[in-house]
Amino acid sequence: MIALDVETVWSKSYSVATMGLDRYVKHPDFRVTIVSLVSDDGFEWVGDPRDLPVDRLNGQSICAHNAEFDSVCCRMAMARGQMPQFTPSEWICTADMASWHQLPRSLAGCHKELFGEELNKDARNEMSGLRPEEILGNESFKQYALGDSRACIRIYNELKISFPEKEFLLSAFTRRTASRGMAIDQNLCQQYIDKSKAIMAEVETFLPWVGPGGGEPTSTVAMAAYLKMQNVEPPKSTQEGDSELLLWKARNPQYAPILEAMTRWRKANKARQTYISMILRVRPDHRVSTRLKYCGAPHTGRWSGAGGLNFQGIPRDEVEGTSAKKCLTPGKGRVMVSADLSQIEPRVLAYLCGDFDFLGLVRGGIDLYEAHGRATGLYNEDEPMKDLAPELRHLCKARVLGLGYGCGPKKFGQVAQALTGGKLNMTDSESRKQVKDFRNQNPKIVELWKKCEDHIREEARQTPDCATMICKSGKPIRYFNVIEDTKGTCYGGGELTGQKVRGQGRMKLYGGLLLENLVQATARELMADSLLKIEAAGLPVVLHVHDSVTVEVAESEGQAALDLMIQLLTEEPLYMPGLPLAAEGEIKNHY
């Protein structure tokens, strides 16, 4: 194993943070200035990338802290003649290893938590705006780069034994998926940019404070000042769907169009920025990298958005007549095939709490939300609920997705409204009744809240530095530096707080939250297993978001790919026998 670190030219106006990796390395100013190598056999080297000792790299395993950045920079540097060609056997990312262990993702943060030693990163900031020869000629910068490689290989050696082989595969899979990317329809992107801009201009006419010397279209300060001039108390929130905002609009119908215009402007502007980001990140092969952050949510292991363009945040529906999904297309003669696990979290929750009567109904083909209604005595008719009692189905959906983790009455009212697209609106008393009824009708879930909290409480008393829950798959969920406040009481003990990333931020730990973490981590494990199986079957994954996965295949292979994906997604996991899984999918000419 050999650790590699590259230093590159950067400035406030030219950096990965502001441009994204693909645009950064495509820029004419891109230049690798220093490379450092540290091997576990004692070899060390730092210097000009043109003098890189590639004999130490060919066919070797390379670790880097943010392997995607270093590997992409090396490939571009080789393509531009800035360093000699080399081909390693694999790249391993120690930042990913750190995240899975719920350590800080940054090199300095991880190193400090593992070894109690500070890494001075001042040199990196001092390189800003310097010419390549100024960076290469500075001995302190070389020692800084060498120090990063030393830290990287030290982290690798510390974590490699406890980092599962499956996670090595998923880390590499994440980078491979990003490198495939998706083709992008730049003409359609530009049309949507123009359309969004026109919509923004149109709705600005409804905002009295916009104009020369006025406020920004979405300025809540300017909005409040205008309304107060009209002797109208401004709303506390401008968030679409907020229950208090809905009441405010009902009481002030004359001014409701102003708030609606703000919402439309905000949506159109966000969509416009997405289309601009897509175009700016187009690669020479006319594709855009579909980057995700491995273990972006470290405690559950789920991926998150990365690279300045959040593919997990792309809206499902059109926004003001535009669609980011339609801009992402397959290559000529190819199709996108997408499939997703159906209602995976409620199934996992029922399995973990032992509600096999409910799972039996689901396995028998009954709609999951109807199954909840039948299992809890809310529905006993022969006809399907969605046909005979659609409003009750909305309620069952809200209960299943909103109350399993200890949601209180006020929050449940908001969650129910959001989950049903505004079709379910409850008064405070109705929300309180639903919460009370759910807990009475689902004692196994309530008991599991208590078991989770009791477990972490006992773990913390034994090993307060790190209390752990273990998923059925064997994946640990860690809570660091857990503290129990003995003044309060909750399930027979004091309030618990801890850290989901070691050394960073504290959060309350209670039964519902702990169970939610356990369910989400388990769902992640099921999806991760499926992703590896789909990839191993020869289906090239181009993006996966939450519980869905998309591959790109030849048009003639679309149906076969979909059938195989659903088969692989619904295979019963060995560590959760009897869990009924379901999946559905479609074949499309865009994402």
CA max distance for the chain: 81
Task: Say what the pLDDT of residue 472 is.
Answer: 97
Task: Say what the pLDDT of residue 490 is.
Answer: 52
Cα–Cα dist 389/384, whole Å: 8
Burial zone of 474 (CB within 10 Å; 0-12 exposed, 13-18 middle, 19+ buried): exposed
The β-bridge partners of 509 are 496
Cα–Cα dist 388/425, whole Å: 20
Predicted TM-score (pTM) of the model is: 0.91
In this structure, what are the phi and psi dihedrals at residue 547, rounded to the nearest 5 degrees? -110, 20
In this structure, what are the phi and psi dihedrals at residue 519, rounded to the nearest 5 degrees? -65, -45
Cα–Cα dist 556/554, whole Å: 5
Task: Say what the pLDDT of residue 22 is.
Answer: 87
Task: Say what the pLDDT of residue 491 is.
Answer: 53
Kindly list the domain boundaries of the chain, sorted by start residue.
2-163, 183-288, 356-441
Cα–Cα dist 306/21, whole Å: 10
The answer to whether residues 403 and 438 touch, using CB atoms and an 8 Å cutoff, is yes
**Number of C-alpha atoms within 13 angstroms, CB side, residue 468?**
10
Give Cα 78 distance to the centre of its chain: 32
| pLDDT of the chain, 591 residues: tens digit per residue | 999 999 999 998 899 887 889 889 989 999 999 999 999 999 999 999 999 999 999 999 999 999 999 999 999 999 999 999 999 999 999 999 999 999 999 999 999 999 999 999 899 899 999 999 999 999 999 999 999 999 999 999 999 999 999 999 999 999 999 999 999 999 999 999 999 999 999 999 999 999 887 789 999 999 999 999 999 999 988 888 777 788 898 899 999 999 999 999 999 999 999 999 899 888 888 999 999 999 999 999 999 988 778 888 888 889 999 999 999 999 899 999 999 999 999 999 999 999 998 899 899 888 899 999 998 888 999 889 989 988 888 888 888 888 999 989 988 888 787 777 777 778 889 889 999 999 999 999 999 999 999 999 999 999 989 999 999 999 999 999 999 887 655 555 689 999 999 999 999 999 999 999 999 999 999 999 999 999 999 999 999 999 999 999 999 999 999 999 999 999 999 999 999 999 999 999 999
The answer to whether residues 513 and 405 touch, using CB atoms and an 8 Å cutoff, is yes
What are the Cα distances from residue 25, in Å, to 57, 69, 281, 419?
22, 10, 11, 41
Nearest to 64 by CA among 126, 107, 110: 107
What are the Cα distances from residue 486, in Å, to 180, 189, 466, 494?
53, 57, 19, 4
Q: Which CATH architecture has domain 2-163?
A: 2-Layer Sandwich (3.30)
- Helix, strand or coil, per DSSP, at residue 299: coil
Question: Exposure string (b/e) for 340-361, b if CB count within 10 Å is 16 or more?
Answer: bbbbbbbbbbbbbbebeebbeb
